[in-house]
Amino acid sequence: MASASVMLVQPKGELWEKIRVELNENVNTRDQDLATIKDWLKKQPHLPDEWDDRCLMSFLRGCNFSLEKCKKKLDMYFTMRSACPEFFANRDITRPELHDLMKRAQGPTMPGLTPSGRRVTICRALDKRMDPQNLNDAFKIAMMIGDVRLMEEIEGVAGDIYILDASVVSPSHLGKLSPSALKKFFICVQEAYPIKLKEVHVVNTTPLVETVYNIIKPFLKEKMRQRIHFHSSYTALHEYVPKELLPTEYGGTGSPLEEINNAWIKKLEEYKDWFKAQESLKANEALRPGKPTNYDELFGIDGSFRQLAID
């Protein structure tokens, strides 16, 4: 198994310097920026008074050290923790339903970085069976990995690349997709997490995948649409992602995806107590200055998703 010590290899040398520039990070002033955000957090009656410095620094980096953008993202992050208990409660990977699902639907982040300093995450299902609860739990696991990265991306990265394997997508899945769950997940990823989504690659495409994409496409900004690529072969994928960063299952020279996934299961097990402690850190709408967040307005489908901001 890939050991936890080699997960999320951190940038150094010239790549570290390059990422600092891309993130607008000034090593001489970042501690002051962190102190400013911590002071702001203490003054928000509806938000937790304190949070881990590493998480806050991850938010600053994901927001290019824009203090106002960071405040907005943090507010939304803690709001989503309250609004979506199906994603943020009972986050214990040793629970049989979560542990089993992570074996059947893998979504691990790979340890290495691309030459431009981006992290690669690969999502694939190994089982065609799916029900609505599986979808919510899959989103829960994805955000558990995201939260671990808030803690363990010590130096920050220049963005994220997602590879989505559509090999087991079947017609039966279409009727089981919940627009409400999808929208909540999209809001979490795009508005609540400090993610810089640079590329999305869909592999093992079929005409059915095109149908699914055409359903989702109207909800995506043009900028996001331009970042989605479809590949009928792994050779085409290798033009975007170096083979050394890909597992053997995708024609790469890295560790097998199964090993990386097992290492992530172990890592999530190590964070069991941390996840439990995090459940109380969320927005309290009763204490929010001004108008409380209206979840019905935030998540209302009404025929279309709200346009989401894309970094």
Residue-wise pLDDT tens digits, 148-171: 999 999 999 999 999 999 888 776
Residue 311 has pLDDT above 50, yes or no: no
Q: Do residues 116 and 241 make contact, with C-beta atoms less than 8 angstroms apart?
A: no
Residue 190 has pLDDT above 90, yes or no: no
Residue 274 has pLDDT above 70, yes or no: yes
Distance CA 144, CA 61 (A): 19
**Residue found under tokens 């002033």:** 29
The two three-digit tokens of residue 272, written as one number: 């069991």
Distance CA 94, CA 243 (A): 32
Distance CA 145, CA 71 (A): 22
Average pLDDT over the chain, rounded to an integer: 89
Question: Measuring CA to CA, which residue among 122, 128, 87 is closest to residue 107?
Answer: 122
Q: Phi and psi of 100, rounded to 5°?
A: -65, -40
The pLDDT of residue 214 is: 76
**Greater confidence, 25 or 3?**
25
Give domain limits for the chain: 12-87+280-295, 91-270
Distance CA 48, CA 69 (A): 18
Q: How confident is the model at residue 32 (pLDDT cuts 50, 70, 90)?
A: very high
**Residue found under tokens 């995450």:** 121
Average the pLDDT over 117-143 and give the result. Answer: 88
Asked: is 91-270 a CATH 3.40.630.40 domain? The reply is no
The two three-digit tokens of residue 124, written as one number: 């694939």
The pLDDT of residue 174 is: 64
Average the pLDDT over 72-86 and give the result. Answer: 97
Distance CA 37, CA 56 (A): 8
Distance CA 219, CA 225 (A): 10
CB neighbours of 173 closer than 8 A, spacing ≥ 6?
130
176: left (phi over 0), alpha (psi -120 to 50) or beta: alpha
Q: Phi and psi of 255, rounded to 5°?
A: -65, 150
Residue 221 has pLDDT above 70, yes or no: no
CB neighbours of 276 closer than 8 A, spacing ≥ 6?
91, 92
**Residue found under tokens 């649409």:** 225
Q: What number of other Cβ atoms are within 10 A of residue 116's Cβ?
A: 14
Q: Would the CA dihedral through 102, 306, 161, 151 be positive or negative?
A: negative
Residue 310 has pLDDT above 80, yes or no: no
The pLDDT of residue 300 is: 75
The pLDDT of residue 223 is: 77
Average the pLDDT over 230-248 and give the result. Answer: 91
